[in-house]
Structure 1
Amino acid sequence: MDSLGPVYPPGHTALLLVDPYNDFLSEGGKFWPRLADVAGAVDLLANLRRIRQAIRCARWPLFFVPHHRAMPNDFDRWQHPTPWQQVTSQAQAFGKNSWGGQWHPHFMPEPGDTVAKEHWGANGFVGTDLDLLLKQQRISHVVVVGVIANTCIETTARHASELGYHVTLVTDATAALSHDAMFYAHEVNGPTYAHALLTTREFLARVPFTTDP
């Protein structure tokens, strides 16, 4: 952990927004009822909006890190699909060409944003072009937000650390299916690999706002 707090070098810091789908973040989404308690407790949606606005003002790049959009029988020929893959497949969560698999209306890619290839498991790097895309933009520091804290956020952020990136977790800009899962993701596991764990307020205090045209 950084003893004096993280420093984010201009031009080399990016926000990774993981899985901002309707099925996770919108009323009527398949997993929203299970996320809503924790999301409400940390003010997830408002914090994500604040962070996105701040990084736009600071002109930091935004990378979308999307989960595979489900189709029927995705895992029929897989030898060892994970329990989570089986659950999401049975529910057809973030279904391809479905409302649930569309971006939440407040978190849609805009011109200049980068959308990585979809990840099949919990890791935004495995089987995708995320590492290549980050390196092509000379990114060394990543700030990871989105859902779910103890699955895709933790796995993607841990892998980023293994690849040599400086990793920041914004602890109230994510959510999990239970408060216990949030606790272990941030209080137990996060400090073993993340270089900084900040609240939204703490993170925004380190983002250099600009009003330049």
Structure 2
Amino acid sequence: MKEPEALLIIDYTNDFVADDGALTVGEPGQKIAPYIIDLAQKFNENNQWVILPTDLHKKNDQYHPETKLFPPHNLAKTWGRAFYGDLQEWFDKHQNDEKVYMYDKSRYSSFAGTDLDLKLRERNIKKIHLVGVCTDICVLHTAISAYNLGYEVIIHEKGVAALTTSGNEWAINHFKNCLGATVV
């Protein structure tokens, strides 16, 4: 029997990807949509986990550090927090599948302040695949947390995008050279 694995689709929302999103990576993020959806479908068909850690914020939250750094984004019950493009349709179709779920996160890392580590360990998942945005922010911090927790990390280069090309390239190199992650 194949070891369980998980695909994490990080923050792939309208605010981060759509042209008029509040904090968008724009075209580079839009171009990766088919790859992400195809990968999610393959994981689902192979009875593997598809997890969608998704940023959630409150407007003008004085206690959240990102409030000082970025414009309001991924606010609850807004268009900006919906999944971008066909991923929303894919999720709507599969959200009742046992091995597909979305959860809220409020920090860069998908592990910070969440029960992700516990859920992965309960399911004996030791290998995680990362896609989404931003390569050099939330994907990076998730990869660092996963590394520190002992997970095998696979980054899908065709499935990540950042606000800048240089930020994306820097993060890809960091995954390889500092985290020992596999970049495919």
* Superposed counterparts of 1:65-76, under 5 Å: 65-67=53-55, 69-74=56-61, 76=62
Distance 1:105 1:178, change over 3 A: closer
Poorly superposed stretches of 4+, deviation over 6 Å: none
1:84-99 matched pairs, under 5 angstroms: 84-88=66-70, 91-99=71-79
Q: Give the Å deviation of 1:50.
A: 1.7
Please state how far the C-alpha of 1:37 moved relative to its aligned partner. 4.0
User: Of the candidates 101, 104, 118, which is equivalent to residue 132 of structure 1?
Assistant: 118
CA contact (8 A) 1:47 1:173 kept: yes
Q: Which residue of 1 aligns with 2:81?
A: 101
1:201 aligned residue: none
**SS state at 2:87 partner:** coil
Partner of 1:54: 42
Residue 172 of structure 2 corresponds to residue 186 of structure 1 = yes
CA distance in 1: counterparts of 2:47 and 2:17, whole angstroms: 25
1:72 CA drift (Å): 2.5
User: In 1, Cα distance between the equivalents of 2:161 and 2:125?
Assistant: 25
TM-score for the superposition, normalised by structure 1: 0.75
Indicate whether 1:63 and 2:48 are aligned: no
- Structure 1 spans left out of the alignment, 5+ residues: 1-8, 199-213
Give the 3-state SS of the residue equivalent to 2:81 in structure 1.
coil
TM-score when scaled to structure 2? 0.86
Alignment of 1:125-204 (within 5 A): 125-187=111-173, 189-191=174-176, 192-198=178-184
Relative distance call for 1:181 and 1:11 in structure 2 (3 A) is same
Q: Secondary structure at the match of 2:155?
A: strand
Work out whether residues 33 and 85 of structure 2, in 8 Å CA contact, stay in contact via their aligned partners in 1: no
Paired residue for 1:13, among 5, 19, 29?
5
**Residues 105, 179 of structure 1: alpha-carbon distance in 2 compared, 3 angstrom cutoff:** closer
| Structure 1, 101-110 or 119-128: larger mean CA deviation | 101-110
User: Does residue 115 of the first structure (1) align with residue 95 of the second (2)?
Assistant: no
Q: How many residues align?
A: 176
How far residue 26 of structure 1 moved from its aligned partner, in angstroms, is 2.7
Structure 2: segments with no counterpart, 5+ residues:
none
Structure of larger gyration radius: 1
The two structures, once aligned, show a CA RMSD in angstroms of: 1.9
Which residue of the partner structure matches residue 26 of structure 2? 36
State the 1:105 CA deviation: 4.5
Q: How high is the sequence identity, in percent, across the aligned residues?
A: 22
Cα distance, 1:95–1:31 mapped onto 2, change above 3 Å: same
Task: State the distance in 2 between where 1:23 and 1:11 align.
Answer: 34
